[in-house]
Structure 1
Amino acid sequence: MQYWFNVDTKSVEAHDDPKRARSANLLGPYDSHDEAAAALEKAQARNEQWEAEDDTWENGPPEDRD
């Protein structure tokens, strides 16, 4: 069974329906209910990491800036 986090309802869904899995409001699949429940936190952490990497790419390392 695969688990998905529904960003509209803020709830975890469990199903194996490939058509449902392509829904734009689902994050996943995850192997466990707990992983799916932490989906937003994981996405936020990734976004913050990517933003920091983009900033370094565009402006150089923070220690080299004036």
Structure 2
Amino acid sequence: MADEKFYYNPATGEVTQGKVESWDNRMGPYDTREEAEHAIAIAKERTRRADALDEADDNWGATPSWEKDEK
């Protein structure tokens, strides 16, 4: 079965159908050519969301007494 998905090559800015480039020059797969053309914007948005989730997960509330600075 042929690979019908689309991929974005960040080195060249080209969109290909199928796994034409090696994995280190390939973002995807995407269902449409239009999605692949916006791969960088999609990746930036996914990173922003993941960073927000990480930040929320890191916020456990008050600092434990053993980590508070003594004066």
Between the two proteins, the alignment pairs up a number of residues equal to 59
Q: Per residue, is there more helix in 1 or in 2? A: 1
CA RMSD of aligned residues (A): 2.0
Unaligned runs of at least 5 residues, structure 2: 63-71
1:56 alignment partner, SS class: helix
Unaligned runs of at least 5 residues, structure 1: none
**TM-score (ref. length: structure 2):** 0.68
Name the % identity: 27
Q: Could you tell me how far apart the structure 2 residues matched to 1:30 and 1:21 are?
A: 15
Structure of higher CA gyration radius: 2
- Segments ≥4 residues shifted beyond 2 Å: none
Higher relative contact order (CA 8 A, sep 6+): 1
**TM-score (ref. length: structure 1):** 0.72
